Amino acid sequence: MSARKFHTTGSFQQVTVEARETRLSLSPDSVVIHRNGIEFRSATPFSEWAEMTLTLQSPADGGRLHCTGVVIACTGSKHAGYRVSMVFTGLSKQAEARLTTMAFAALG
């Protein structure tokens, strides 16, 4: 995953992550978007290589972007929480362009 951040805090109104029987609704300040993936904090651990669905909602127009990805790392403990790293898979050029537009909308 790229070390560069792809957005600033507040670029997204809501981030929802789903994997099998788990659904998380994340606050924008607990999420870091990278060019090829996402990192977030979670009270729930995720298995490496778990496939996940991700929905990002833009504060500007309320538009949503649906992505899929795979967990590549999950570190932490049940007491301190977990840091989950996920890479996007099969991101179309249109979805990539929408993600870029949503990410930079807050920069103005």
Which of 60, 53, 71, 63 has the alpha carbon at shortest distance from 16? 53
pLDDT, tens digit (0-9, with 9 covering 90-100), for 18-41 = 776 678 888 777 888 777 888 998
* CATH at residue 58: 2.40.10.220
Structure confidence at residue 60 (pLDDT):
67
Instruction: Give how many domains the chain has, as a whole number.
Output: 1
Task: State how far the alpha carbon of 75 is from the alpha carbons of 19, 27, 83, 101, in Å.
Answer: 17, 19, 5, 30
Structure confidence at residue 15 (pLDDT):
75
Q: Which domain holds residue 99?
A: 14-105
Structural domain contains residue 3: no
Residue 106 pLDDT > 60: no
Structure confidence at residue 86 (pLDDT):
92
Specify which residues 15 forms β-bridges with.
26, 56
Q: Let me know how long the chain is.
A: 108
Average pLDDT, the chain: 78
pLDDT, tens digit (0-9, with 9 covering 90-100), for 53-74 = 888 877 666 777 888 999 999 9
